[in-house]
């Protein structure tokens, strides 16, 4: 028992649970136990005084009572200091147990003659409360319970054994006591095991809920960050609401609308400056880079541009290959938007040195910068067509940078004798330290079912493997993690059983009913698989009563028959409850018995049947506990009250004539106490039903032993004290008189079990509530995760998105991939430029943009068709649609396959291009327009990657992309123009192409191009039109 007094802390992994268990569950019960004991002692004094006993005549009893009152008052004062209790829970529990044990032994030897049935109910109370109300572990509680049992048995055995045979047989009574104590230990251990299991489950669900809330908050932040990386805040809110509605209506479906148009998020802004930056010579530089170097270079470059844009209040709109497109004056109008753009351009042009502006921008600069005429510096046909004068801004810092050699000096210092220009550029850009795209998504935590992380600060002191890696956490989550401990202890506070008496949003403090009627109904109709164990443990109590009555009675035939019938009923009940475990045996038998295993399912899932069986089981135990009294005479016919009995006392029997032994009376009371315990074994039984059954049993027991059969107690006392010469012992003490001892025991067990029933009801409902909250939060988290994934897949291809939301990806990695054969499509609606106008009739161009939105949205809908699952939309550039196929192939896979297999996806792209034309025709029919599509196709090697930290973007680069763009820009309306290599590949797939001839392509010189035959019926063998 030395472990009880050891202040050693619990194992580190259970520290939080032990804290919760001590503070929220065991601490209130310990206080209630001490209060019950103190009230019981005061009640004993009151009963002793009210019954006319002189307390001064029994100094031993009075001393025991006063010591008990003083000791337990002191223990209550110590236990009231909650902070000290946290550190000295085990020693204090040991002191309470020792004080109860000492009190019980004090009662044994005070107040009258010592009997074998003395204080059995009190020791049973000590045993049960050690398990149910003291904050001890199962091993410690079992040790204390067994020690309490053995102490009573050994003390009485050693004390009563050597005495003359003036009392009934000692051994059967000690055996009955042992059975009572064993039943108390088993019932207490069963109660403790189920409660600890339920409490630990509730605790874990609370932690899971806390973890789920943190994940939910994290997902909300990620979703907000991701959405704002795609759209401005004012547009993001509208789009988020629609996406949420789409997820609720069914993922992928569009909510019903009152019109036939797709959603359009457009707002007109006045006073906006536009900056468009192009990297000259990028194609040549990119050809010398590896895929990783290319993606790193662009990420560092555009990441730096994003930082500059933030500094100058600019907003990046899009990255077009190697071009950077941003504006100033959005979403809020800025008076100095033009100056912001120029400042940003100058910061971007450390290598380019010049910023090209229009005359309108020059007028807004108000002479802030020196410029020079750029009329002879450019040859752009669009600018020549407009006739707009343009200028080059002279960077005022150029001379200073030349002197300091900022860029040139750094590049010169990095340049080695064997360093390639591309690597030199990459090394230079790495020095800027741009953030990686989607770095905030790479730490997404695992589902709740796999682990439940606990607060970092509280765990880091004892469990290093629980610590969180803050280096992988976005800055926006730091504050949340800092408050992790506070949130954890707030959750513990919510689990505190003392809150059941306070106002709550979830419970009625008086009845503990849920305030929501639907939740209350759901709770009452919930399944209870553990009911069979309740019934099994109740059978143990019934069996203990049977053994006790067989030991202390002369076993009349009528009593045996009654128990035989009851055994049959119990076996039938247990068969019904455990029938599912007999499935294999039953299925081997006749088919007419195959329904038997479903009985246990019915009991577990039908609340009405469950309540009826539970109530019947408890009433059965109640009735059998007092069955022996039926075989005792009801009339007051005690032979030991005769005046001439004292002289022949030693020769008189302990049995009533024709009846049971008198010692069966106190043991019937002990069996009634076990009946009280049987009611507490049904943990999930409603509190009001338990209260009703306990009140019924209390009233029945008190009416039996204090009224109708009270004379039996008096008769036993008369026989016990017959022939006593000491006049002070003619009337025993309160606890030596069976009827008073029994009544006091009944009331103590009634109030104790009522407290536990209320506690059990609260935690059963709390467990149900936390499970429901956890399910709701998990569903909400899943919705948020789906929303984040949906948003991410709108930014990235489906096969790329998991690279950034998985847990195995490192933050420092950049996604890049090279492909040997990718087909790139550019499809534009050139007529839209002429169609677009801004007037009051079309709401300043809004209706024109609405039509363009319909065109692009209808194009996007084609991507959801299974046959176009391999087509990946890259971007839209005004009225130009860019897509590619072959991007979901593994890197290097195409190179290992033959040409026909590696380029088989070209046919998919051709069919997609034709489908785009068909969609446009349908739109023309409904909008009374005559738009025509101009398409350019090319295939070959590309590099894919994700760049940009503030606004991450998936893109592809390479000569293949540039040529595909030129095929579109130099194409013809209504035609699909391809290069000669692509035409040959398409011919091998059964398509027909005819030569357009040699045309001049900007940056590529003279190229021989082909038009794809619009009749896409495959001809089988290659056509000769290519020759």
How far is Cα of residue 156 from the mean position of the Cα atoms in its chain? Answer: 55
User: Which value, to the nearest 10 degrees, does the dihedral of the CA atoms of residues 677, 683, 684, 685 take?
Assistant: 10
Question: Is 875 a known active-site residue?
Answer: no
**Distance between CA atoms of residues 386 and 247, nearest Å:** 47
Place of tokens 């800092």: 482
The pair phi, psi for residue 356, each rounded to 5°, is -95, 120
Query: What separation in angstroms does the CA of 496 have from each of 300, 316, 434, 490, 499?
Result: 53, 52, 49, 10, 6
* Catalytic residue of the set 292, 1002, 1004, 1018: 1002
Question: Is 221 a known active-site residue?
Answer: no
Number of H helices, E strands in the chain: 38, 14
- Whether residue 759 contacts residue 29, with contact meaning beta carbons closer than 8 Å, is answered with yes
Segments in 796-845 forming alpha helices (H): 802-805, 831-835
The token pair that represents 611 in the structure block? 């309540």
Q: What angle do CA 511, 515, 521 make, to 5 degrees?
A: 90
Place of tokens 């022949």: 648
DSSP 23: I
**Distance between CA atoms of residues 926 and 918, nearest Å:** 13
* Catalytic residue of the set 690, 951, 966, 996: 966
Q: What angle do CA 527, 533, 534 make, to 5 degrees?
A: 85
**Distance between CA atoms of residues 361 and 358, nearest Å:** 5
Which one, of 712, 226, 779, lies nearest residue 448 by Cα?
779
Place of tokens 């064993």: 182
**Distance between CA atoms of residues 958 and 817, nearest Å:** 12
**Distance between CA atoms of residues 609 and 535, nearest Å:** 13
Which one, of 908, 859, 880, lies nearest residue 964 by Cα?
880
- Whether residue 656 contacts residue 662, with contact meaning beta carbons closer than 8 Å, is answered with yes
Beta partners for residue 373, in sequence order: 391
For β-strands 934-947 and 371-373, DSSP reports them as unpaired
**Distance between CA atoms of residues 286 and 755, nearest Å:** 78
**Distance between CA atoms of residues 470 and 453, nearest Å:** 14
17 CB-near residues (< 8 Å, 6+ apart): 200, 203
The pair phi, psi for residue 547, each rounded to 5°, is -65, -40
**Distance between CA atoms of residues 540 and 536, nearest Å:** 7
- Whether residue 527 contacts residue 604, with contact meaning beta carbons closer than 8 Å, is answered with yes
Which one, of 620, 630, 625, 623, lies nearest residue 709 by Cα?
630
Type and span of the H or E element at 661: none
The pair phi, psi for residue 837, each rounded to 5°, is -155, 160
**Distance between CA atoms of residues 971 and 441, nearest Å:** 42
**Distance between CA atoms of residues 169 and 180, nearest Å:** 18
The pair phi, psi for residue 177, each rounded to 5°, is -60, -40
The pair phi, psi for residue 393, each rounded to 5°, is -80, 135
432 CB-near residues (< 8 Å, 6+ apart): 300, 303, 304
**Residue-by-residue DSSP string for 677-732:** HHHHT-TTS-HHHHHHHHHHHHHHHHHIIIIITHHHHHHHHHHHTTT---GGGSS-
- Whether residue 328 contacts residue 344, with contact meaning beta carbons closer than 8 Å, is answered with yes
Place of tokens 């499970």: 771
Beta partners for residue 981, in sequence order: none
- Whether residue 167 contacts residue 159, with contact meaning beta carbons closer than 8 Å, is answered with no
State the catalytic residues. 966, 1002
């Amino acid at each position: 028992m030395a472990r009880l007094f050891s202040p050693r802390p619990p194992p580190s992994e259970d520290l939080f649970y032990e804290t919760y268990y001590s503070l929220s569950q065991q601490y209130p019960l310990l206080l209630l136990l001490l209060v019950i004991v103190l009230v019981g002692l005061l009640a004993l004094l009151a009963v002793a005084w009210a019954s006319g006993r002189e307390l001064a005549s029994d100094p031993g009893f009075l001393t025991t009572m006063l010591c008990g009152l003083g000791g337990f008052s002191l223990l209550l004062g110590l236990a009231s200091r909650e902070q000290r209790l946290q550190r000295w829970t085990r020693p204090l529990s040991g002191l309470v147990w020792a004080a109860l044990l000492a009190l019980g032994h004090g009662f044994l030897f005070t107040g009258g003659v010592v009997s074998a049935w003395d204080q059995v109910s009190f020791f049973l109370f000590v045993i049960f409360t050690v398990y149910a109300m003291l904050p001890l572990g199962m091993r410690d509680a079992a040790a204390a319970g067994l020690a309490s049992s053995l102490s009573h048995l050994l003390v009485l055995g050693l004390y009563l054994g050597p005495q003359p045979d003036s009392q009934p047989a000692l051994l059967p009574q000690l055996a009955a006591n042992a059975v009572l104590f064993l039943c108390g230990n088993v019932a207490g251990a069963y109660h403790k095991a189920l409660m600890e299991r339920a409490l630990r489950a509730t605790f874990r669900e609370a932690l899971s809920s806390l973890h789920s809330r943190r994940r939910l908050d994290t997902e909300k932040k990620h979703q907000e960050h991701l959405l704002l990386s795609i759209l401005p805040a004012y547009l993001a809110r509208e789009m988020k609401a629609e996406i949420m509605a789409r997820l609720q209506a069914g993922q992928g479906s569009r909510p019903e609308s009152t019109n036939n148009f797709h959603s359009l998020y457009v707002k007109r802004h006045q006073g906006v400056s536009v900056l468009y930056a192009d990297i000259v010579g990028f194609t040549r530089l990119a050809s010398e880079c590896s895929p990783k170097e290319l993606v790193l270079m662009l990420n560092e470059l555009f990441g730096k541009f994003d930082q500059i844009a933030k500094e100058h209040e600019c907003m990046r709109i899009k990255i077009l290959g190697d071009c950077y497109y941003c504006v100033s004056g959005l979403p809020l109008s800025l008076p100095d938007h033009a100056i912001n753009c120029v400042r940003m351009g100058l910061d971007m042009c450390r290598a380019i040195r010049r910023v090209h502006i229009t005359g309108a921008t020059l007028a807004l600069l108000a002479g802030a910068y020196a410029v020079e005429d750029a009329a002879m510096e450019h040859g752009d046909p669009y600018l020549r067509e407009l006739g707009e004068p343009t200028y080059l801004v002279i960077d005022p810092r150029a001379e200073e940078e030349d002197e300091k050699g900022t860029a040139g000096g750094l590049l010169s210092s990095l340049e080695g004798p064997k360093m390639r220009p591309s690597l030199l550029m990459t090394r230079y850009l790495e020095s800027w330290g741009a953030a990686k795209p989607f770095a905030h998504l790479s730490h997404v935590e695992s589902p709740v079912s796999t682990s439940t992380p606990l607060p970092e600060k509280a765990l880091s002191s004892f469990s290093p493997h629980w610590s969180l890696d803050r280096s992988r956490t976005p800055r926006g989550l730091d504050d949340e993690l800092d408050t992790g401990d506070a949130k954890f202890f707030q959750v513990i506070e919510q689990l505190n059983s003392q809150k059941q008496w306070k106002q709550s949003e979830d419970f009625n403090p008086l009845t503990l009913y849920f305030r929501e009627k639907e939740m209350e109904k759901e709770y009452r109709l919930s399944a209870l698989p553990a009911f069979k164990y309740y019934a099994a443990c109740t059978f143990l109590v019934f069996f203990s009563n049977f053994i006790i009555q067989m030991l202390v009675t002369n076993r009349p035939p009528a009593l045996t028959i009654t128990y035989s019938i009851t055994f049959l009923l119990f076996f039938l009940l247990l068969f019904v409850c455990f029938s599912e475990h007999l499935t294999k045996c039953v299925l081997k038998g006749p088919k007419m018995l195959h329904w038997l295993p479903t009985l246990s399912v019915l009991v577990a899932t039908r609340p009405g049947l469950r309540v009826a069986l539970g109530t019947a089981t408890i009433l059965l135990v109640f009735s059998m506990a007092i069955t022996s009294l039926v075989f005792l005479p009801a009339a007051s016919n005690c032979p030991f009250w005769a005046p001439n009995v004292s002289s022949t006392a030693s020769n008189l029997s302990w049995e009533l004539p024709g009846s049971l032994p008198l010692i069966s009376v106190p043991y019937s009371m002990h069996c009634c106490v076990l009946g009280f315990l049987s009611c507490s074994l049904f943990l999930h039984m409603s509190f009001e039903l338990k209260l009703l059954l306990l009140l019924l049993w209390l009233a029945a027991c008190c009416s039996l032993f204090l009224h109708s059969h009270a004379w039996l107690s008096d008769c036993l006392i008369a026989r016990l004290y017959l022939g006593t010469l000491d006049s002070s012992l003619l009337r025993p003490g309160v606890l030596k008189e069976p009827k008073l001892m029994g009544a006091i025991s009944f009331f103590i067990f009634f109030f104790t079990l009522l407290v536990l029933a209320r506690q059990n009801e609260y935690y059963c409902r709390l467990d149900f509530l936390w499970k429901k909250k956890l399910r709701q939060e998990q569903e909400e988290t899943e919705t948020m995760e789906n929303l984040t994934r949906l948003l991410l897949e709108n930014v990235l291809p489906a096969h790329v998105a998991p690279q950034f939301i998985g847990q195995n990806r490192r933050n420092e990695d950049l996604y890049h991939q090279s492909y040997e054969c990718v087909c790139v499509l550019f499809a534009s609606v050139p007529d839209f430029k002429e169609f677009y106008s801004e007037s009051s009739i079309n709401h300043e161009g809004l209706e024109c943009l609405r039509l363009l939105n319909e065109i692009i949205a209808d194009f996007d809908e084609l991507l959801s068709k299974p046959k176009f699952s391999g087509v990946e939309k890259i971007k839209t550039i005004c009225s130009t649609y860019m897509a590619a196929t072959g991007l979901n192939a593994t890197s290097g896979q195409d190179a290992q396959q033959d040409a026909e297999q590696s380029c088989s996806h070209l046919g998919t792209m051709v069919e997609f291009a034709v489908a785009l034309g068909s969609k446009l025709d349908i739109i023309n029919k409904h909008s009374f327009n005559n738009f025509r599509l101009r398409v350019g196709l090319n295939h070959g090697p590309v590099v894919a990657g994700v760049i940009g930290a503030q606004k991450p973007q998936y893109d592809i680069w390479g000569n293949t992309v540039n040529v595909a763009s030129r095929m579109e820009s130099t194409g013809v309306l209504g035609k699909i123009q391809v290069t000669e290599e692509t035409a040959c590949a398409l011919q091998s797939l059964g398509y027909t192409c005819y030569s357009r001839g040699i045309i001049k392509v900007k940056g590529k010189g003279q190229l021989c191009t082909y038009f794809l035959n619009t009749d896409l019926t495959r001809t089988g063998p290659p056509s000769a039109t290519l020759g």
